[in-house]
Amino acid sequence: MSKYYNPQRTRNIYHPSSTEPFRLSRSKIDLFLECPRCFYLDRRMGVGRPPGYPFSLNSAVDALLKKEFDIHRAKGTAHPLMKQYGIDAIPLAHDCMDEWRDSLRRGVTYRFPETNLLITGGVDDVWANPQGELIIVDYKATSKAGEVSLDAEWQDGYKRQMEVYQWLFRNNGFKVSTTGYFVYCNGDSSKEAFNGKLEFNIKVIPYVGDDSWIEETIKNIQKCLNSDKIPSSGDDCDYCKYIEGVNNLSI
């Protein structure tokens, strides 16, 4: 991965004097909340965090789930998981589904008023209920003993992710249910042998979103980006702690 990392990026950098829309993804909003300094260095200075390795298995699960739900989308029928969990909905059939799923180039977008910030996000799925509400759905994959849940502190990012997607669709004029769903796939490692396949237990977890924090956060992000002062580090930023540790060494 190192040969693809550019520590002095010249593209996708925020310029305070520019009036052109600047794309700000859902993940970068989360980066700002985690560490304003890393966010500033990335979006304003062009020095992003070194990338991690891709989770190819998770991507494969996402792709297969999308194909599976698309079968029911084309037929206008409910997926068996919806029936199992008593969810009165069907996968939404909409001309923009492929666009909304394309987080890298398109996604769901909304230009925040009185700024040049174009907020973007790529959803995994959207369902629709009989009341005409859109239901935002996110796929997750893991492998752990016991039941999966949303109770861990690090999963707060999942919840914010859902809320940003709900907020984006609302600002695109859609009626959106406050309840979204996580389709959580848990790889079963209790089998006696691998035998060339990994089986998953799938749980659908409802989550009631609250997007009231988003607009104030975007305003703070704009102030951060327009400032010429590098902000303080986040309290628990391992990247900043590492750099601080290196700088403290007598090399």
User: Average pLDDT for residues 4-22, to the nearest whole number?
Assistant: 87
Give 41's contacts (C-beta < 8 A, 6+ positions apart).
47, 48, 230
Are 174 and 135 within 8 A, CB to CB? no
CB atoms within 10 A of CB 130: 8
pLDDT for 1: 43
Mean pLDDT across 77-88: 96
**pLDDT higher than threshold 80 for residue 53:** no
Cα–Cα distance list, 222 to 73, 215, 216 (Å): 38, 11, 10
The average pLDDT across 8-28 equals: 92
What residue ranges do the domains of the chain occupy?
56-211
Say what the pLDDT of residue 60 is: 87
Percent of the chain clearing pLDDT 90 (strictly above)? 69
Q: Mean per-residue pLDDT for 201-205? A: 92
Say if residue 165's pLDDT is above 90: yes
Residue written as token pair 């390795």: 53
What pLDDT, on the 0 to 100 scale, is given for residue 119? 97
More confident position, 153 or 97: 97
Torsion of CA 24, 30, 32, 38, to 10 degrees: -100
The model carries a pTM of 0.91
